[in-house]
Structure 1
């Protein structure tokens, strides 16, 4: 990646021998690998067995999980927060694992719509929950720094599975907990 970043920098007309740019290709390659570290993880590795027996059948929600991702169309960041809820059926997921699942999928080249679905489907599969709801709200640099340059726009996406999709009262409880 280092050589590719060097070619990109030269491609915009910069001099790689300029003192501020001498080590930039290597730093950029390391940063890009870090920002996309989700490719080296699996859901099984992230969860690491942290699924615990529980009699709870009430909604569990983790709110305001910050996320950072790169838009797969422009390689520019989008930054926001995820709200994840599920209704357990015999087992609960370790609290930090919800945030780690969000991070794993966010740290890949993404579109927000797919990120939302990936998180919901993974939580559903891992926990066998009767329902899962995920809402993500994010600001996209590809819309703020270029193109239409709208600084105050926020994109919101949702994925509702099981009882969150089929039961209006479950969906309303989730949405009311977000306020």
Structure 2
């Protein structure tokens, strides 16, 4: 059975992405050489030889992969949402972007979290390009995460930057820390949700979001 966690911020401020995962300044980060040395240490710790042919270039590859997989620390979600459009012909109804695939990493074991995000918002005079919403999901996914925090961060960034009448975010994902280790329950997924503004205050708006999401899936 799927595990379900509902995360309802008490106020929009509770979903403020700035309260989680503030990136370290570049001056405080180890060098590329230090990162590669750390990988060599881990290779020895698991019982292998970093000097054997198949592993000689592994520290360099891992460091390069980490820069790509965790690039979210160097990206600003507010900047991604910076360009908006006001010429929407009076449209002020629900915008829903569903099935935004993402890969993240658990901050407890540093193993993958693989899932999809569904994001909706109620415009208040302006909209944002649909790809920008997906970009925000990626920015937060490409950091060490808990699913609960990531869900709130996505909603908080959109609410704070775009100032819509409300934001709804549902994230569903499989955690490899649960599938690959520990109890090893493959296929178990976790659902988290955050609602702000009208979606939090008006049960009908929340229900409409859920209905649209279900109907879109049936199609």
TM-score range, shorter chain: over 0.9
- Whether 1:15 and 2:36 are equivalent positions in the alignment is no
**Which of residues 40, 43, 56 in structure 1 aligns to 2:77?**
43
Partners of 1:104 and 1:112 in 2: CA distance: 14
CA contact (8 A) 1:143 1:149 kept: yes
Partners of 1:94 and 1:2 in 2: CA distance: 39
Partners of 1:11 and 1:106 in 2: CA distance: 28
Shift of 1:74: 0.3
SS at match of 1:148: coil
- Whether 1:171 and 2:206 are equivalent positions in the alignment is yes
Shift of 1:17: 1.6
Match of 2:115 in 1: 80
Partners of 2:183 and 2:191 in 1: CA distance: 18
Q: What TM-score results when the alignment is normalised by the length of structure 1?
A: 0.97
Partners of 2:187 and 2:61 in 1: CA distance: 31
Partners of 2:169 and 2:56 in 1: CA distance: 43
Match of 2:194 in 1: 159
Q: Where do 4+ consecutive residues of structure 1 move more than 3 Å? A: none
Partners of 2:170 and 2:134 in 1: CA distance: 13
In the alignment, structure 1 segments of 5+ residues that lack a partner are none
CA contact (8 A) 2:173 2:191 kept: yes
Partners of 1:2 and 1:45 in 2: CA distance: 31
Shift of 1:109: 0.5
Shift of 1:173: 0.8
SS at match of 1:156: strand
Alignment coverage as a number of residue pairs: 178
Q: What TM-score results when the alignment is normalised by the length of structure 2?
A: 0.79
In the alignment, structure 2 segments of 5+ residues that lack a partner are 1-34, 215-219
Q: Which has the higher strand share?
A: 1
- Whether 1:106 and 2:141 are equivalent positions in the alignment is yes
Shift of 1:16: 1.1
